[in-house]
Amino acid sequence: MNPFECSNQLINHLDAPSRKLVLKHSDVLHLSAGTVLSQPGDVSDYVYFPSGCVVALMLQQSEEKGLEVCLVGEEGMLGVETMLGLNESPYLIVVQSEGMVLRVSTELLMKMIARYPAIEQHLHLYAGVIMNQLAQSSLCGHFHVVQARLARLILMFHDRLHSNSMQLTHGLLADMLGVRRVGITKAAGALQKSRTLRYARGHIEILNVKALEAVACSCYAIDKATYQLILND
Ligand SMILES: [Zn+2]
């Protein structure tokens, strides 16, 4: 993959020498939906920069129950905690939408950071964004209704996939929002009735993005504004 094909915004916003260096030391992988990149407590030897795929960081309450706390696509990276010096990740990290990813050895990234402070500065800004998203996610789960949270989640996929179509089953959405499937059925039914989206057999087609934004909870706009801050610096 050359720099022009890499769609990861963190890498593409680095200065040219830093970007060239990271790309030179990256492996390009294609990940299928459902791939588990890391289990809670795992020590990862790699960090990942999505370039087409969308990955969820989930906290697990039990074997069956999880809660999506952060969605990462081409705007971000996986392995922030490793970069900050923490060896273990508390998250179950699962690919939710297939696509390419750039994989870099943590050891190599740390060496690059030592040589190019611009990389460290940029990735630390991203770490700050992730902290905000985690805090927002916690507030969202407590105070916002399922329909508004579902609209937010679908918009987050929309922004990362650059597409109005996506494959997301009831079960997956219920897991990610930490609610029962019946809650998803009800919320998705209301969005279908208002012709905001079409949903059949796990396939979602957004029919009206503006209407979906109007239904989404305020967390969506807050997260988006935080990302704009670092990507437009
Ligand atoms: Zn919310």
pLDDT per residue as tens digits for the range 149-208: 999 999 999 999 999 999 998 888 998 898 999 999 999 999 999 999 999 988 999 999
Quick: pLDDT tens for 93-117: 999 999 999 999 998 888 888 888 8
29 closest CA partner among 8, 7, 50:
50
Query: What counts of helices (H) and strands (E) characterise the chain?
Result: 10, 10
Ligand 1 centre distance from Cα of residue 77 (Å): 22
Between residues 2 and 17, which one has the greater pLDDT?
Answer: 17
CB atoms within 10 A of CB 86: 12
67 alpha carbon – ligand 1 mean position (Å): 14
| Alpha carbon of 145 to ligand 1 centroid (Å) | 8
- Joined tokens for residue 144: 């916002």
Q: Give me ligand 1 centre to Cα 138, in Å.
A: 9
201-216 pLDDT per residue, tens = 889 999 999 999 999 9
List domains and CATH numbers for the chain: 9-138 (2.60.120.10), 145-216 (1.10.10.10)
User: Average model confidence (pLDDT) for the chain?
Assistant: 88
| % of the chain at pLDDT higher than 70 | 94
Rounded to the nearest angstrom, the distance between the alpha carbon of 216 and the centre of ligand 1 is 7
pLDDT, residue 65, reads 65
Rounded CA gap, 197 and 177, in Å?
A: 18
